[in-house]
Amino acid sequence: MAMTSERRKRVAVVGAGVVGLNLALEVQRRFPDANVAVIAHKFNGETLSDGAAGLLRPDSYIFGPNREVSQQWVNDSYSFYKNLLNKKDERCGINEVSGFMFSSRGPEFVKNHYLENCISDYRDATHEELQAHYSPDNNVLTKYGIFYTSMVIECKRFLPWALKKISDSGGIIIKRRIESLEELYGEYDVIFNCTGFEAKQLCSDVNVIPIRGQVIRVKAPWIKNFYYYDSDTYIIPSKDDGTVVLGGCRHFGSYEESVNERNTEEILEKCVNLIPSLKNALKMDYEIWVGLRPYRNKIRIEMEQINNTVIVHNYGHGGYGVTLAPGTAKYAVDLLTP
């Protein structure tokens, strides 16, 4: 369905997390005459995105239809956030941060071909950098490493900024729980389904699986770099408020949304072992966040038409919604152009 006919198209974006809001921004950029509505029952601090650490860092598996498309999503997302970063008047919570990915197991555990192909300063960690963090007494064996500069997208600021941007461009924001996409048939010409984990029920999609995550946010303004160690131990600073996100865990198939104290102890122990100065941060109050990431073996970006309504699905980003949202938004909107 082309978006170029004479009548102004009525477009609904269902979902107001980072995926949905990036989609709405892309629709408005490409089709400024479209009537865009963002419909959701959760906004800003109520969303899963609000708890994200926000580092632009894809995993190395093929999450799109093929490796080339997956790379394009990463490239497009990087370009989108970088352009916003360079616009000093756009205070949207994006900051540049450098850091390391370390491993004790092998070079394949730190290599990331997506980042290598889009980030200019991506390189192997030096011997001195590896040794500076090597600590057998703390069971931290940094034998392999990568250094690069990326961006942290603070959703606590990005989501409100995006909503205002959408509203200022003529979009409307509707707080409403959608039980079935059929509720919107006829009311809108195009519906973008960006409902994340809720798509499991809305679309009866058995391929959507929760990945339970738990992270801790502490006050540690002296931490300037991000760190990953053997994948699931990570330390990601926020330049905006001096807090640092400590993680993490990935529990496939878990629906448990309460705090697990054992997970808390494990995260704190591993992060302090990696960066001992974090022990000082634990003398102050800290926040614990738990969320269910909407994983799918392949992110679903597909179009279907039911009578006169076009539905474009865009969900299943797992823990990489922040990283991939602008790229998948562009790909999803491309489906509407002939």
H or E stretch covering 210 = strand 209-219
* Domain annotation for the chain: domains and CATH numbers: 10-335 (3.40.50.720)
pLDDT the model gives residue 6 = 53
Structure tokens of 4? 């170029």
How does strand 190-193 pair with strand 10-14?
parallel
Say whether 165 sits in a helix, a strand or coil: helix
DSSP code at position 126: P
Helix%, strand%, coil% for the chain, nearest 5: 35, 30, 35
pLDDT above 80: residue 338: no
pLDDT above 80: residue 231: no
- Give the model confidence (pLDDT) of 98-139 as tens digits: 999 999 999 999 999 999 999 999 999 999 999 999 999 999
pLDDT the model gives residue 5 = 53
H or E stretch covering 149 = strand 144-153
Q: What is d(CA 92, CA 162) in angstroms, rounded to the nearest whole number? A: 8
Q: In 3D, which of 333, 331, 293, 294 has the Cα closest to residue 316?
A: 294
- Give the model confidence (pLDDT) of 149-204 as tens digits: 999 999 999 999 999 999 999 999 999 999 999 999 999 999 999 999 999 999 99
Q: What's the average model confidence in pLDDT over 317-336?
A: 97
Q: What is d(CA 286, CA 64) in angstroms, rounded to the nearest whole number? A: 36
Q: In 3D, which of 270, 321, 324 has the Cα closest to residue 292?
A: 321
- Give the model confidence (pLDDT) of 17-53 as tens digits: 999 999 999 999 999 999 999 999 999 999 999 999 9
Q: What's the average model confidence in pLDDT over 311-335?
A: 98
The secondary structure of 173-198 as a DSSP string is EEE---S-GGGGBTTBSEEEE--GGG
Structure tokens of 19? 């995926």
Q: What is d(CA 222, CA 242) in angstroms, rounded to the nearest whole number? A: 8
DSSP code at position 208: -
Q: What is d(CA 57, CA 19) in angstroms, rounded to the nearest whole number? A: 16
Unique residue bearing structure tokens 């555990």 = 109
b/e per residue 298-332 (b: at least 16 CB within 10 A): ebbbeeeeeeebbbbbbbbbbbbbbbbbbbbbbbb
Structure tokens of 270? 């591993």
Q: What is d(CA 96, CA 110) in angstroms, rounded to the nearest whole number? A: 20
Q: What is d(CA 11, CA 256) in angstroms, rounded to the nearest whole number? A: 34
Q: Phi first, then psi: what are they for 81, rounded to 5°?
A: -70, -35
pLDDT above 80: residue 7: no
- The rounded mean pLDDT for the chain is 96
pLDDT band at 90 (very low <50, low <70, confident <90, very high): confident
Segments in the chain forming alpha helices (H)? 18-30, 67-86, 113-116, 127-133, 155-168, 199-202, 261-274, 321-334
Q: What is d(CA 285, CA 296) in angstroms, rounded to the nearest whole number? A: 35
Q: What is d(CA 158, CA 92) in angstroms, rounded to the nearest whole number? A: 5
pLDDT the model gives residue 8 = 77
Binding site: residue ranges?
A: 53-55, 195, 234, 293, 318-323
My answer on whether omega of the bond before 17 falls inside 30° of 0, hence cis, is: no
pLDDT the model gives residue 4 = 54
Residues above pLDDT 90, as percent of the chain: 94
Binding site for FAD: residue ranges?
A: 53-55, 195, 318-323
The answer to whether 14 and 184 have CB atoms below 8 angstroms apart is yes
Q: What's the average model confidence in pLDDT over 143-151?
A: 98
- Give the model confidence (pLDDT) of 58-67 as tens digits: 999 999 999 9
297 backbone φψ class: left, alpha, beta (φ>0; ψ -120 to 50):
alpha
Binding site for D-dopa: residue ranges?
A: 234, 293, 319
Q: In 3D, which of 216, 217, 198, 218 has the Cα closest to residue 208?
A: 198
